[in-house]
Copies of this chain bind each other. A is one copy, B any other.
Amino acid sequence: MPRRTDTRALMVATAAHLLRRQGLHSTGTSQILAESNAPRGSLYFHFPEGKEQLAIEALALSGRELGERMSAELDAAPAIGDGIVRLGEMFARSLLASEFRDGCPIATTALEAAESVAIRTACATVYDAWSQGLSARLEVAGATAQDATRLAQLVLSSIQGALILARVQRDPDVVRQVTQDLAEMVTGLAPSEERP
């Protein structure tokens, strides 16, 4: 017997997937419903606020999932620099596997939905979380708190931008190059406990 949350969760997951590929305005509620095998009415039962509420939850889900994948990649490498390179590889693979449709699951919606405060906030929250994840690992690698924050923003920005360029150029190389450059930049860092 299907639990009541199943349909709801499926709708969020479907929305997350479509938002990543198409953005907010290209993703109709009808498409979400069709791909979730759910009738129209169910959307407004589970999400009384409608499309926006669903989108916000979808962004949060994408943020969590991709955040975990990013953490896993970073932790899989001994040095932070290698971790960043792995990040680039991961995104490059996503792009190739999806014919350059799967870039950042947040960026498209973030740029489109400038008019909605709620959606903008949801995007900001995800970016903050990712940034903190990066920052924490940069501190462990030897950066001061301040440097870590700055470097995390730089790394995040560069990858975000590279994903845009890669999509329009249909070539994942930018992502790889950028992450390699970033890796070199952070290689100088020493483990924090060994600093004078």
A residues engaging B (CB < 8 A)? 21-23, 25-26, 100-101, 103, 107-108, 110-112, 114-115, 120, 123-124, 127, 150-151, 153-154, 156-162, 164-165, 167-170, 174, 177-178, 181, 185
Contact = CB atoms under 8 A, between A and B. Distances in A.
By DSSP majority rule, is chain A's interface helix, strand, loop, or mixed?
Answer: helix
**Chain copies in the assembled complex:** 4
Contact of A156 (B26, B115, B165): B165
Per CB-CB distance, the 5 closest pairs between chain A and chain B, nearest first, are A160-B161, A157-B161, A25-B25, A161-B161, A108-B111
B112 A103 contact: no
A114 B177 contact: no
Contact of A174 (B112, B153, B165): B153
Contacts of A123: 168
A151 to B, nearest CB: 8
Given A153-B177, A154-B158, A181-B150, A168 B127 contact: yes
Contacts of A22: 112, 114-115
